[in-house]
Amino acid sequence: MIAAGLHIDMNKVLITGGAGFIGSHLVDRLLADGASTITVVDSFSDYYDPVTKRANVERYTDRPDFTLVEADICDAAAMSDLFRAGRFDSVIHLAARVGVRHSLQDPMAYEETNVRGTYVLLEAARQTGVPGVVFGSSSSVYGANNSVPFSEDSELPLPISPYAATKVAGEAACHAYSHLYDMRILCLRFFTVYGARQRPDLAIHKFARMISMGEPIPVYGDGSTSRDYTYVDDIVSGIIGAINYRGSDFEIINLGESRVVTLSSLISLIEGALGVRAKIHRQSSQAGDMTVTCADISKARRLLGYEPQTQIEAGIQKFVDWFTTRPSRANERAAALIQASGSASLSPPIERVPSIP
């Protein structure tokens, strides 16, 4: 594990998408660990309620070591001005259009933000001599690969969604800039991140909300699809390891838990944590969805000192604790339904694909 309180070598850190789910947790950790100044740039798009994203960072807005910039990463002039004024020591690029299914509906928007936006940031970093860049990639780049665990050294199959294609393009852009301009760039492939403040469209959050309100949850396929679920605190530890990395100029590194859990087992865990039985609405499998994801994290262990600490059973309970106590009318209703249902245990044995050492 990367220790809490790890010294941050970087004095001036820029986080794109820093008001979002992963980004705001990274802000929490960096400020707690003593980074001198944090700048967050976020467009506060309406992909989900911008009020939620603003609430993620509002407690920092009066701090002298925190700056919030509302801007679009595709605005080259704005980014150039920001980089020249900030003179950043490290850039963590997390801003992106996200989600496989939404990318099928609006692929051009994904290309604009995820590809052009990444080039804009890389160019601004090059022009201002940023020493280190960390790029948030995705396990979706592994496409229709059923050979687990996924290794960074394996040849990538063709992507099976526009979202995945934009992440492959982002990694390629990072490699080109590192090769041409001697920039130190690490691409981190995140595997199904979850935890407090998770986006409301992601499965764990959506299922918890719908189950607690007595609504049927949409389950695509027979429930046998499997994911490597990674708790957000572990992802943040991996990012901090990447910020402090002083090895080769370019690396691609998986960040996951290296365990796979079936969709049916995930639902059972959420039911158990909520104390409410789910109503299932079976639907056809979705185009662009991967059958399985599982990270080989041996490289992250070796290069970053990465060691995930929160397994899925504990992580789901932590998420539900946050979900049922955060202030919102929807969750007040959810908490009331859970209380009314009693606290009967709903904890069937978890079904897993065999663990990966």
Tokens of 274: 């909520």
Contact of 204 with 268, CB cutoff 8 Å: no
Active-site amino acid positions? 163
Who contacts 136 (Cβ-Cβ below 8 Å, separation ≥6)? 17, 22, 92, 93, 94, 96, 188, 190
Closest alpha carbon to 133 in 143, 144, 124, 145: 124
Tokens of 331: 């969750």
Tokens of 96: 């992106």
* 3-state DSSP assignment of residue 336: helix
CA angle 272, 278, 279 (to 5 degrees): 170
Dist. CA 32–CA 219, nearest whole Å: 39
Residue environment code for 48-78, b if the CB has 16+ CB neighbours within 10 A, otherwise e: eeeebbeebbeebeeeeebbbbebbbbebeb
Length of the chain: 357
Q: Show the 3-state SS of 9-45.
A: CCCEEEEECCCCHHHHHHHHHHHHHCCCEEEEEECCC
Half-sphere exposure of 307 (CA within 13 A, CB side): 6
Dist. CA 177–CA 294, nearest whole Å: 28
Strands 250-255 and 261-262: unpaired
